[in-house]
Chains A and B, each alone.
With several copies, the nearest count.
Chain A
Amino acid sequence: MDFDFSDQQYLFRETFHGFLEQNHDLKKHAALLEGDGFDADLWWGLADLGLFSMLVPEQFGGLGLSFVDMALVLEELGMELVGAPASETIVATDLIVRHGSEKQQARLLPLLAAGKLRVATAIAEPKSGFGDLNIQAQAASNSNGWRLNGHKIMVPHAVMADLIMVAARIGPSQELGLVMLEPQRKGVVLREQSTLDPACRFYAMTLDSVAVDVEDFLGGAVPQPTSLARLLDVSSAVAALQLTGIAGKVLDIAVAYAAQRVQFGKPIGSFQAIKHKCADMAVAIDAARSAAYYGAWAIAEDAVDRVKAVSMAKSFCGDTARQVCNEGIQIHGGMGFTWELGLHWYLRRAKVLEFSHGDAAFHRERVMAATLAELQRQE
């Protein structure tokens, strides 16, 4: 048993940390609000460092690492507000490695490893709520082959994606699965959506009788009834790590500010009101790390307690990021709510992540159900 990262894993984080520190900051982040919102330099820089090859098995040109190896890196990405399509591409990679057909793996994984395939995921629908219960999008076959119909929302960076992984009910059994298609296909209409964090670049996607093929189904001809559940869990685990990264960053910024901002002749960080807030934030973040890292392990191992571990992480890290972003702004006083200082970028991203892939209440209910099932098994 060991609940720590290896030296190698810490080194990996350092590498990404150094790169991001040199190549990314809030100014660059804000600039992404213009244009297509995609930072190609950053993408290729991250690709060069191996980000997209980490989860790809060696036989497909990847590093053959596990989700545990990604944990600290994803926390770093969260910290620097690097989100989709990088994080979603990583999520999709995991899915293809676990559930792709041999043919799909051979075709897609080498491209992914090289950073040449950007993937977005499309799960939510206008009336779906959290989770997969109410997904209506549907792939049905008739004499002309398979057709995909449905409405998806909040598909990040959809226009820039090479491939979109769409959650849908497949065939007469209505079994939930994932369909991969290019946004350029006929019948796909994208419309950009206004979002609390405009850097997220969400799109609504209408699928109007889009022609698909069995090879577009993740797993090909072999149904993958557990793939959507895994997609949701991996996405939640990634969000938990990103939320933890954001919280850690905001605490660092707040502590630095409190140490130098003088009022009443003293740095405000010497007042207990500020000091104790910071201490509570630090404690919450440390606990969030325990949860997020364990979630990453459960994903890596596809552990029996995967659902519970992921939901623990998502709920706790979401609550923590909320607390820390709010308090971080409070500590900055008036400066905290200026656009210029940019703390709001962390707040916005944290809020979007908090309400993506299930909020804290949704995940707590999953924890409860999983725990009851556990106790029943023990009896």
Chain B
Amino acid sequence: MDFTYSAENLRFRDELRQWLSDNLPIGWGVTVHEPKDEDERARFRLGWERQLFDGGWSGLDWPTQYGGRGATLIEQAIFSEEMARAGAPDGLNIIGRNLVGPTLMRHGTEAQRQRYLPKILSTDEVWCQGFSEPNAGSDLASINCRAERDGDHFVVNGQKVWTSFAQYSQWCILLVRTDRSLPKHQGISFMLVDMRSPGVTVRPLRQISGESEFNETFFEDVRVPAENIVGELNGGWKIAQTTLAAERGPGDAMARQIRFKRELDDLIVAAATLKRGSTSAIDDPVLRQKIAKSIVEIEIMRLSCLRSLSKLLKGSAPGAAASMLKLYWSHAAQGLYETALETLGFLAPLTDGDSLAPAEGRFQLGFLQSRAFTIYSGSSEIQRNIIAERMLGLPR
């Protein structure tokens, strides 16, 4: 166990700090913020991600041969800390970096890796994920979207839903049914689909937050080269498990922790500013308890990511541990946003656009977004099943 920074670590940190101060827009987080418009914001985030890549800060833990930095765990931790400290924006190609990368590294052919991985980090190709369907949510293995062989191609027909960022994506990891005669878990294949193919239609789904990050995506006679199957034909369920574990695992959680930590810091600043008569919200002992609870929970999220990554580095398998992490952070983060609104108190109903809305209404937006945390990437109910059955060994 070691949390100390070596001289080399400190150099890494200083280099990153310098780079951030050179590259973040002047006034970032104070006078300059992300664009409000969703499309503009997507472009902004993609641009920022490109900057990170150009600076050598993208794919920190990826092998250098695929464009990554091959950083150590401590460097990853420092990176998270500094990004939080600087209030740095998120990237856009999250699915590419966090899900497609680990999946192809584990299950892809060397040709597939060389073709796809570098363009993920360089932001040349943004990815989305076509897993869920209207009738296959928690029960993912009952997907209906089908792919039928036609020479050296597959022809895909069906509908996916909750395909985040599909409107900005060039590629999609798609779960399809390739054999209806097999039991439901065994007839599924995992393929890479070019979103620019004829027959692909994306229809944005507006969310409760008012944003449209998610989409419905329709596939009508979409032709996909057979070489775009990852792993074995009909062997897609196992591969999807790798993707899901990555989606729920410490890499993803670590990136989110940065964001929550930033929100928490902003919340504390807001609480210090918010006056209730002669006192500040931050002096209210009842609120302090709630905020402190969130501080503890979000800090533990970071620690658990580090513990999980430390174990992964030593070769322990991901899996149910990823479900534990996801279940933990999703509820901790929901608690954070509830606390944020309580901190705003009587001003909580005022949102972005109003001059009196504290922190420009970002906590209200975050609150609305947070309702989805316990639903996407596998609902809390599904995670609890996985933990109880696979980890604790309770009977089905």
A354–B381 Cα distance when bound, in Å, is 27
A272–B383 Cα distance when bound, in Å, is 12
Question: With A153-B356, A375-B268 as given contacts, are A287 and B300 in contact (CB-CB < 8 Å)?
Answer: yes
Question: With A343-B208, A365-B292 as given contacts, are A2 and B1 in contact (CB-CB < 8 Å)?
Answer: yes
Q: Which residue of A268, A275, A338 is within 8 Å of B206 (Cβ)?
A: A338
Question: With A154-B350, A194-B352, A330-B379 as given contacts, are A368 and B300 in contact (CB-CB < 8 Å)?
Answer: no
Residue of B nearest to A275 (CB): B388
Q: Which residue of A263, A279, A329, A347 is within 8 Å of B327 (Cβ)?
A: A279
Is B65 an interface residue when CB atoms closer than 8 A count as contact? no
The residues of B that contact A23 with a CB separation of less than 8 Å are none
A352–B344 Cα distance when bound, in Å, is 12
The residues of A that contact B208 with a CB separation of less than 8 Å are 329, 336-339, 343-344, 347
Q: Is A286 within 8 A of B324, CB to CB? A: yes
Q: Is B388 within 8 A of A278, CB to CB? A: yes
Q: Is A127 within 8 A of B385, CB to CB? A: no
Is B21 an interface residue when CB atoms closer than 8 A count as contact? no
Q: Which residue of B206, B295, B341, B391 is within 8 Å of A367 (Cβ)?
A: B295
Q: How far is the CB of A311 from chain B (nearest CB, A)?
A: 8
Question: With A129-B345, A195-B350, A365-B292 as given contacts, are A68 and B277 in contact (CB-CB < 8 Å)?
Answer: no
Q: Which residue of A3, A267, A326 is within 8 Å of B371 (Cβ)?
A: A326
Q: How far is the CB of A205 from chain B (nearest CB, A)?
A: 12
A131–B288 Cα distance when bound, in Å, is 18
Question: With A326-B371, A368-B288 as given contacts, are A275 and B304 in contact (CB-CB < 8 Å)?
Answer: no
Q: Is B276 within 8 A of A129, CB to CB? A: yes
Is B182 an interface residue when CB atoms closer than 8 A count as contact? no
Residue of A nearest to B379 (CB): A333
Is A340 an interface residue when CB atoms closer than 8 A count as contact? yes
A269–B296 Cα distance when bound, in Å, is 31
Main secondary structure of the interface of B (DSSP, over half): helix
Q: Which residue of B1, B344, B356, B383 is within 8 Å of A293 (Cβ)?
A: B1
Q: How far is the CB of B127 from chain A (nearest CB, A)?
A: 20
Q: Is A3 within 8 A of B288, CB to CB? A: no
Q: Which residue of A128, A194, A291, A359 is within 8 Å of B354 (Cβ)?
A: A194
The residues of A that contact B287 with a CB separation of less than 8 Å are 361
Q: How far is the CB of B275 from chain A (nearest CB, A)?
A: 5
A334–B356 Cα distance when bound, in Å, is 33
Q: Which of the 9-residue segments A42-50, A90-98, A103-111, A196-204 touches chain B?
A: A196-204
Q: How far is the CB of B4 from chain A (nearest CB, A)?
A: 7
Question: With A286-B304, A333-B375, A337-B207 as given contacts, are A356 and B162 in contact (CB-CB < 8 Å)?
Answer: no
Is B148 an interface residue when CB atoms closer than 8 A count as contact? no
Q: Is B375 within 8 A of A337, CB to CB? A: yes
Q: Is A127 within 8 A of B277, CB to CB? A: yes
Q: Which of the 9-residue segments B42-50, B132-140, B191-199 touches chain A?
A: B132-140
Is B233 an interface residue when CB atoms closer than 8 A count as contact? no
Is B239 an interface residue when CB atoms closer than 8 A count as contact? no
Question: With A275-B385, A337-B208 as given contacts, are A312 and B296 in contact (CB-CB < 8 Å)?
Answer: yes
Is A255 an interface residue when CB atoms closer than 8 A count as contact? yes
- Find the residue from B206, B346, B381 having the highest chain A CB count within 10 A: B346
Q: Is A196 within 8 A of B351, CB to CB? A: yes
Question: With A291-B300, A340-B206 as given contacts, are A361 and B342 in contact (CB-CB < 8 Å)?
Answer: yes
Number of chain B residues whose Cβ lies closer than 8 Å to a Cβ of chain A: 96
Contact with B along A334-377 (1 / 0, CB 8 A): 10111110011001000110111001010011011001100100
Residue of B nearest to A66 (CB): B1
A131–B139 Cα distance when bound, in Å, is 49
Q: Is B350 within 8 A of A3, CB to CB? A: no
Is B270 an interface residue when CB atoms closer than 8 A count as contact? no
Q: Is B304 within 8 A of A287, CB to CB? A: yes
Interface residues of A in 129-145 (CB under 8 A from B): 129-130, 133-134
The residues of B that contact A334 with a CB separation of less than 8 Å are 132, 137, 161-162, 375-376
Q: Is B350 within 8 A of A2, CB to CB? A: no
Q: Is A291 within 8 A of B351, CB to CB? A: no
Is B372 an interface residue when CB atoms closer than 8 A count as contact? yes
Contact with B along A2-44 (1 / 0, CB 8 A): 1111100100000000000000000000000000000000000
Residue of A nearest to B210 (CB): A339
Q: How far is the CB of A100 from chain B (nearest CB, A)?
A: 25
Is A224 an interface residue when CB atoms closer than 8 A count as contact? no
Is A259 an interface residue when CB atoms closer than 8 A count as contact? yes
A215–B210 Cα distance when bound, in Å, is 45
Is B34 an interface residue when CB atoms closer than 8 A count as contact? no
Q: Is A329 within 8 A of B371, CB to CB? A: yes
Q: Which of the 9-residue segments B72-80, B102-110, B113-121 touches chain A?
A: B72-80
Q: Is B1 within 8 A of A297, CB to CB? A: yes
The residues of B that contact A333 with a CB separation of less than 8 Å are 137-138, 375, 379
Q: Is B342 within 8 A of A193, CB to CB? A: no
Contact with A along B367-396 (1 / 0, CB 8 A): 110011011100111011101110111111
Q: Is B387 within 8 A of A283, CB to CB? A: yes
Contact with B along A286-303 (1 / 0, CB 8 A): 110111011001000101
Is B23 an interface residue when CB atoms closer than 8 A count as contact? no
The residues of A that contact B85 with a CB separation of less than 8 Å are 378
Q: How far is the CB of B132 from chain A (nearest CB, A)?
A: 7
- Find the residue from B269, B295, B357, B381 having the highest chain A CB count within 10 A: B381
Question: With A1-B77, A368-B291, A372-B268 as given contacts, are A355 and B349 in contact (CB-CB < 8 Å)?
Answer: yes
Is B282 an interface residue when CB atoms closer than 8 A count as contact? yes
Q: Which of the 9-residue segments B24-32, B53-61, B150-158, B306-314 touches chain A?
A: B306-314
Residue of A nearest to B385 (CB): A275
Residue of A nearest to B364 (CB): A196
Q: Is A1 within 8 A of B393, CB to CB? A: no
Is B88 an interface residue when CB atoms closer than 8 A count as contact? no
Is B183 an interface residue when CB atoms closer than 8 A count as contact? no
The residues of B that contact A326 with a CB separation of less than 8 Å are 334, 371
Is B328 an interface residue when CB atoms closer than 8 A count as contact? yes
Write 8 A-B pairs (CB below 8 A) sorted by A numbering.
A1-B74, A3-B3, A126-B356, A312-B299, A334-B137, A339-B206, A344-B208, A355-B345
A binding-site residues for B, Cβ under 8 Å = 1-6, 9, 68, 124, 126-130, 133-134, 153-154, 193-197, 200, 202, 204, 251, 255, 258-259, 262-264, 266-276, 278-280, 282-283, 286-287, 289-291, 293-294, 297, 301, 303, 312, 315-316, 322, 326, 329-330, 333-334, 336-340, 343-344, 347, 351-352, 354-356, 359, 361, 364-365, 367-368, 371-372, 375, 378
Starting from the known contacts A279-B385, A279-B387, A351-B341, 7 additional A-B residue pairs (CB-CB under 8 Å) come to: A195-B351, A202-B349, A274-B381, A303-B3, A334-B162, A339-B205, A361-B287
